[in-house]
């Protein structure tokens, strides 16, 4: 929703941009002519070959903001993904219990691993490893996504195999290469062994005969996860504060749109709202068959959830397998395999500057490690 002020500004600066969002190979990237980038001068041979002209830096930082179609920006980014409705009422008591459970190492086979071991809340909900070690030290094939803002997505996991954050919460506990508990009964026994947890369950689920249960574990962890949200400068910009983005970030936003990233990365989460194949325009080699493993439908081979890009600056390494170390490299790969464009280093830098505007502070007091 935009404020009247933003609408005025947006309309005043709106101009007929041709959005090449379909990633058509023949579409030209208009940002090239509009970005005030220093062009290499077509100089004749220097008069004095002994003193060559010092190489100018390739990019001059743009000083004037670009013209951005504010209506288009709102259309791309203002909505939330269609997350499934939840009947899990978020109460302070459930959140407090969920926070305890999230950090409880005794809920793993060797009493050595909690959700926070892989999803550190003082570190934007990730561990910055390509793949994470489970209770026995084994590693799965997938990179740990952040839990921050995860509840806002349309489905959970890289392949969408859990619908809600509550459905998702039990998965890691029973996964042999994560917490590694045998079954729900083992989880309940572990929780009942801790008087502090039993007391917190009684407070969170008052009046229930058996408050300590696997389904209440899911509700409490789900309620806590629903509180893990961030607000970024880009959110403020979408809410109408033009000065929330730097000039460089506004150029980056424009480039992001013109290169065609918005064919997939949209909504307030800049992703987290649909599935797409990895390698829509050029094949990208990966062993993981993605959503095909769940649906067994040929069409779903190498299809993944389009990840949200909120806080992406902090969540390296990237991709479902954590195989890409830097954001710059990731942006280049995306442009090539998803939009069929070889983009220049200055366009990469510009997009990365924009992506950094998606970083918002993690709420204070969340870390318990």
Min separation Cβ 294 and ligand HEC, Å: 10
Residue 298: active-site member = no
- Residue 6 or 341 having the CB closest to ligand HEC: 341
The β-bridge relationship of strands 275-277 and 303-305 is: antiparallel
Residue 9: CB minimum distance to ligand HEC, A: 25
CA-based nearest residue to 244, from 77, 359, 357: 357
Whole-angstrom distance, CA of residue 86 vs CA of residue 49: 72
Give the nearer residue to ligand HEC in terms of CB position, either 7 or 123: 123
Residue 239's CB is within 10 A of a number of other CB atoms, namely: 14
Could you tell me which of 188, 171, 168, 165 has the C-alpha nearest to residue 87?
Answer: 165
Number of C-alpha atoms within 13 angstroms, CB side, residue 44? 2
Query: Which residues lie near ligand HEC (CB under 6 A)?
Result: 23, 102, 113, 115, 117-119, 132, 134, 140, 142, 144-145, 147, 150, 153, 156-158, 165, 168-169, 172-173, 178-179, 221, 225, 259-261, 263-265, 276, 278, 280, 304, 306-307, 309, 312, 315, 318-320, 330-331, 334-335, 338-339, 351
**Min CB(142)–ligand HEC separation in Å:** 4
State which residue, 144 or 232, has the beta carbon closest to ligand HEC: 144
Closest separation between CB of residue 10 and ligand HEC, Å? 23
**Calpha distance 110→174 (Å, rounded):** 13
**CA-based max dimension of the chain:** 92
- Give me the catalytic one of 178, 248, 346, 347: 178
Least distance in angstroms from the C-beta of 5 to ligand HEC = 29
Q: Judged by CB, which is closer to ligand HEC: 157, or 237?
A: 157
Which residues, at least 6 apart from 65, have a Cβ–Cβ distance to it below 8 Å? 247, 250, 251
Count CB-CB contacts under 10 A for residue 17.
Answer: 16
Question: Closest CB to ligand HEC among 150 and 245?
Answer: 150
Structure tokens at 162: 């859990």
Cα gap 137→145, rounded to integer Å: 19
CB 106 → ligand HEC: shortest distance, Å? 13
CB of 264 to ligand HEC, least distance (A): 3
Rounded distance between C-alpha atoms, residue 171 and residue 173, angstroms: 6
* Residue 83 beta carbon to ligand HEC: minimum distance, rounded to whole angstroms: 12
Please tell me the distance from the alpha carbon of residue 219 to that of residue 89, in angstroms, as a whole number: 9
| Residue 97 half-sphere exposure toward CB, CA atoms < 13 A | 30
**b/e code 204-225 from CB counts within 10 Å (16+ = b):** bbeeeeebbbbebbbbbbbbbb
Q: Distance between CA 141 and CA 122 in Å, rounded?
A: 24
Nearer to ligand HEC, 69 or 178 (CB): 178
Residue with Cβ nearer ligand HEC (132 or 211): 132
When the beta carbons of 6 and 318 are compared against ligand HEC, the nearer one is 318
Q: 153: which DSSP letter?
A: S
Torsion of CA 145, 151, 153, 156, to 10 degrees: 60
Tell me, what DSSP letter sits at residue 26?
A: T
Please list the active-site residues: 178
């Amino acid at each position: 929703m935009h404020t009247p002020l933003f609408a005025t500004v947006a309309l005043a600066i709106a101009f007929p941009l041709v959005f090449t969002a379909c990633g058509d190979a023949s579409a030209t990237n208009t940002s090239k002519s509009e970005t005030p980038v220093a062009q290499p001068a077509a100089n004749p041979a220097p008069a004095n070959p002994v003193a060559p002209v010092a190489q100018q830096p390739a990019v001059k930082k743009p000083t004037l903001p670009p013209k951005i179609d504010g209506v288009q920006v709102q259309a791309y980014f203002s909505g939330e993904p269609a997350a499934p409705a939840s009947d899990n009422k978020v109460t302070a008591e459930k959140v407090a219990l969920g926070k305890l459970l999230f950090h409880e190492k005794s809920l793993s086979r060797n009493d050595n691993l909690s959700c926070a071991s892989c999803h550190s809340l003082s570190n934007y909900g990730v561990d910055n490893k390509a793949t994470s070690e489970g209770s026995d030290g084994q590693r799965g094939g997938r990179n740990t996504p952040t839990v921050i803002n995860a509840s806002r997505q349309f489905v959970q996991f890289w392949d969408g195999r859990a619908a809600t954050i509550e459905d998702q919460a039990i998965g890691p506990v029973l996964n042999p290469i994560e917490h590694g508990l045998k079954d729900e009964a083992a989880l309940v026994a572990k929780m009942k062994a801790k008087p502090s947890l039993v007391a917190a369950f009684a407070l969170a689920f008052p009046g229930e005969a058996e408050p300590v249960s696997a389904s209440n574990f899911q509700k409490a962890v789900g309620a806590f996860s629903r509180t893990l949200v961030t607000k970024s400068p880009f959110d403020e910009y979408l809410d109408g504060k033009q000065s929330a983005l730097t000039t460089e970030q506004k150029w980056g936003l424009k480039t992001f749109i013109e290169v065609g990233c918005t064919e997939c990365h949209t909504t307030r989460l800049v992703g987290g709202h649909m599935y797409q194949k990895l390698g829509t325009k050029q094949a990208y080699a990966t062993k993981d068959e993605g959503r095909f493993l769940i649906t067994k439908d040929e069409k779903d081979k190498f299809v993944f959830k389009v990840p949200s890009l909120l806080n992406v600056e902090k969540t390296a390494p990237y991709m479902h397998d954590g195989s890409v170390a830097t954001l710059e490299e990731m942006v280049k790969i995306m442009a090539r395999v998803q939009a069929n464009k070889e983009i220049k280093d200055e366009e990469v830098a510009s997009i990365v500057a924009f992506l950094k505007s998606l970083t918002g502070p993690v709420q204070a007091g969340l870390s318990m490690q």
